[in-house]
A and B are shown apart, each in its own frame.
Chain A
Amino acid sequence: AQSVSQHNHHVILSEAASLELGCNYSYGGTVNLFWYVQYPGQHLQLLLKYFSGDPLVKGIKGFEAEFIKSKFSFNLRKPSVQWSDTAEYFCAVNAGTGGFKTIFGAGTRLFVKA
């Protein structure tokens, strides 16, 4: 069965600091990987996704993630965070070409101090 593990439950950073959120998954086959963000009081939004091709994926708002197949990892990065990045971040994975369930990690709550 698929599972997703996010290493950090809470992260506190100052503005302009660099961010890296860890995500590991367990599934032996081909996977599709996602990072979602949930701002306070809002619904989930897709930050970026990986299906195939270049393992370094660039998303919205300056975020990027790198798929390392050998490590079953898909870590999210941003070189310089802003106060507006305060939110909860979810890593998610699904397997296959469609119609398969997406499993979410527990989430990482990021607070950026102004």
Chain B
Amino acid sequence: GAVVSQHPSRVICKSGTSVKIECRSLDFQATTMFWYRQFPKQSLMLMATSNEGSKATYEQGVEKDKFLINHASLTLSTLTVTSAHPEDSSFYICSAEAFGKKAEAFFGQGTRLTVV
């Protein structure tokens, strides 16, 4: 149980285009989902906290107009990187907190975004 699936696992896009990454909790309801970014050989940096049915809370320094987060249902959150630039190339990871499983988050497999 408690499986989180991210799609796509890898994506290459051209500069200026937008890319959508999906994060799904497959066998549980996730009231809260988190989006992280991981640079090579570095730790996970929290980008935003997403609560179902409400606006995401962004961490300081993260552009909310560039990284659009939508958490429309209890099993799906999406991150859209708008007008992508090469410096947006990174590994993006989502995690979902299971309703009733206090404070424990389950992680997706990540999405490697390359902007060319």
Interface readout for B46-58 with A: 1 if CB under 8 Å, 0 if not?
1001010000000
A61 contacts chain B at the CB level, 8 A cutoff? no
Give the dominant DSSP class at B's interface.
strand
Interface readout for A30-71 with B: 1 if CB under 8 Å, 0 if not?
001010100000111110010100000000000000000000
Interface size on A, residues (CB 8 A): 25
A contact residues around B31 at 8 Å (CB): 98-99
A94 contacts chain B at the CB level, 8 A cutoff? yes
Known pairs A32-B104, A49-B104, A90-B44. 20 more at Cβ < 8 A?
A: A34-B104, A42-B109, A44-B44, A44-B107, A46-B104, A51-B102, A90-B43, A94-B103, A96-B103, A98-B32, A98-B103, A99-B32, A99-B97, A102-B95, A102-B105, A103-B46, A104-B45, A104-B46, A106-B43, A107-B42
Could you list which residues of chain A lie within 8 angstroms of chain B, going by C-beta atoms? 32, 34, 36, 42-46, 49, 51, 90, 94, 96-107, 109
